[in-house]
Structure 1
Amino acid sequence: MDFTECYADTVSSAAAAARSGCRRQVRRLIESGCSLDARDNRGWNALHEAAAAGSKGCVQCGDYVNSLTHEGESACYLAAQRGHLSVVRLLLKAHANINQLTNDLSCPLYAVDNGHQDVVKLLVSRGAEVDRTHTASCWTCLHQAVYKQGHSDIVHILVNVCNLEAHDDHKISPLFVAAQYGQRECLQILINAGACVNTQAADLATPLLIASQEGHQACVDLLLDHGADPNMACSHEWPQLPVHAAAEFGHLILRRLIDVTNRTCDRSGGMVSPLYVAIHSHQTGSIQLLLEEGYSPDAQDCTLRELVCVALSHVSFASCWLPVLLRAGLDPSLLLHPHLETADSDVLNSLLQFVNWSTLSPALKLILERRRAEKTWDPCTDFSVPRLSHICRLKIREVLGPDLLMRTNVVQQLPVPSLLHDFLKFRDI
Structure 2
Amino acid sequence: MDFTECYGDTVSSVAAAARSGCRKRVRRLIKGGCSVDCRDNRGWIALHEAAAAGSKECVQEILTAAGGSSRGCRAYVNSLTHEGESACYLAAQRGHLAVVRLLLKAHANINQLTNDLSCPLYAAVDGGQKEIVELLVSKGAEVNRAHTASCWTCLHQAVYKGHSEIVRILVNVCNLEAVDDHRISPLFVAAQYGQQECLEILVNAGANVNTQAADLATPLLIASQEGHQACVDFLLDHGADPNIACSHDWPQLPIHAAAEFGHISVLRRLIAVTDCVCDRGDGMVSPLYVAVHSHQSMSVELLLREGYSPDAQDCTHILGLRSPLSYALCQTSNKPYSESVRLLVAAGANLTEEDWIYALATDNTDLLQLILEHRWIPRPEALIRDCSVPHHNGKTVLKLQEMRELVSVAQNQVHFAACWLPLLLKAGLEPSLLLQPHMLEQADSEVLNYLLEFVNWSTLSAPLKNTLHQRRVEKTWEPCQDFDSIPCLSHICRLQVRAVLGPDLLMRTNVVQQLPVPSQLHGFLQFRDIPEASYTH
TM-score band (shorter)?
0.7 to 0.9
Quick check: 2:378–2:504 contact (8 Å CA) kept in 1? no
Deviations 1:314-354 (A, max 9, x none): 43683311121112111233553342326964334323433
Question: Partner letter of residue 259 of structure 1?
Answer: A
Residue identity in the other structure for 2:427: P
Say which SS state the counterpart of residue 338 (structure 2) adopts.
helix
Q: What residue in structure 2 maps to residue 298 of structure 1?
A: 311
Tell me the amino acid that sits aligned with residue 212 of structure 1: S
Deviation at 1:276, TM superposition (A): 1.4
Q: In structure 2, what residue type is equivalent to 1:24? A: K
TM-score (norm 2): 0.67
Correspondent of 1:286 among 289, 299, 303: 299
CA distance in 2, matches of 1:106, 1:126: 18
Q: CA deviation at 1:382?
A: 6.1
Other-structure match for 2:239 = 227
Letter in 2 for 1:171: R
Does residue 386 of the first structure (1) align with residue 427 of the second (2)? yes
Residue 328 (structure 1) aligns with = 347
Whole-angstrom CA distance in 2 between matches of 1:173 and 1:394: 64
Q: Which residue of 2 aligns with 1:277?
A: 290
Would the aligned equivalents of 1:349 and 1:380 in 2 still touch at CA under 8 Å? no
Using a 3 Å threshold, how does the CA distance of structure 1 residues 286 and 335 change in structure 2: closer, same or farther? farther
| Corresponding position of 2:415 | 370
Range moving further from structure 2, 221-230 or 288-297? 288-297
Give the 3 Å change call, closer, same or farther, for CA 205–384 of structure 1 in structure 2. Answer: same
Q: 1:261 matched to which residue of 2?
A: 274
The alpha-carbon deviation at position 310 of structure 1 amounts to: 4.0
Matched position secondary structure for 2:57: helix
Letter in 2 for 1:13: S
1:93 to 105, 108, 131: 105
Alpha-carbon contact 1:319-1:347 (below 8 Å) kept: no
Paired letter, 2:108:
A
* Amino acid aligned to 2:339: C
**Superposition TM-score, scaled by structure 1 size:** 0.83
- Tell me whether 231-240 or 352-361 shows the greater mean CA deviation: 352-361
Moved more, 331-340 or 134-143: 331-340
Residue 37 of structure 1: SS of its match in structure 2?
coil
Per the TM alignment, residue 37 of structure 1 is displaced from its structure 2 partner at its CA by 1.1
Q: Which deviates more from structure 2 when the two are superposed, residues 111-120 or residues 321-330?
A: 321-330
Tell me, in whole angstroms, the C-alpha distance in 1 between the residues paired with 2:148 and 2:291. 37
CA separation in 2, counterparts of 1:394 and 1:291?
30
Which structure has more RCO (C-alpha within 8 Å, separation ≥ 6)? 1
- 1:344-376 CA distance string (max 9 Å, x none): 643343234335499752751662x63476xxx
Paired with 1:391 and 1:281, the residues of 2 have a C-alpha distance of: 37
* Greater Rg over alpha carbons, structure: 2
- Report the Cα distance in structure 2 between the residues aligned to 1:362 and 1:194, rounded to whole angstroms: 62
Mark the CA change 1:343 to 1:80 in structure 2 (over 3 Å): closer, same or farther.
farther
Q: Which residue matches 1:337?
A: 356
The 3 A distance-change label for structure 1 pair 25 and 92 is same
CA offset digits 1:59-116 (Å, max 9, x no partner):
0223310000000000000000000000001100101000000000000001110101
C-alpha separation between the residues in 2 aligned to 1:13 and 1:390?
102
One-letter amino acid of the counterpart of residue 285, structure 1:
M
Question: Is 2:28 the counterpart of 1:28?
Answer: yes
Letter of the 2:17 partner, please give it.
A
For 1:18-417, list aligned pairs within 5 A.
18-59=18-59, 60-61=62-63, 62=66, 63=73, 64-110=76-122, 111-149=124-162, 151-252=163-264, 253-303=266-316, 305=322, 307-315=324-332, 318-333=337-352, 335-339=354-358, 340-341=360-361, 345-353=365-373, 354=375, 356=377, 360-361=406-407, 363-364=409-410, 367=413, 370-371=415-416, 384-386=425-427, 391=504
- RMSD between aligned alpha carbons? 2.7
SS in 2 for 1:318: coil
**Separation (CA, whole Å) in 2 of partners of 1:22 and 1:159:** 40
1:181-204 per-residue CA deviation (whole Å, 9 max, x = no partner) reads 000000000011111101111111
> Residue type matched to 1:391 in 2?
D
Give the 3 Å change call, closer, same or farther, for CA 36–348 of structure 1 in structure 2.
farther
Q: How many percent of aligned residue pairs carry the same amino acid?
A: 68
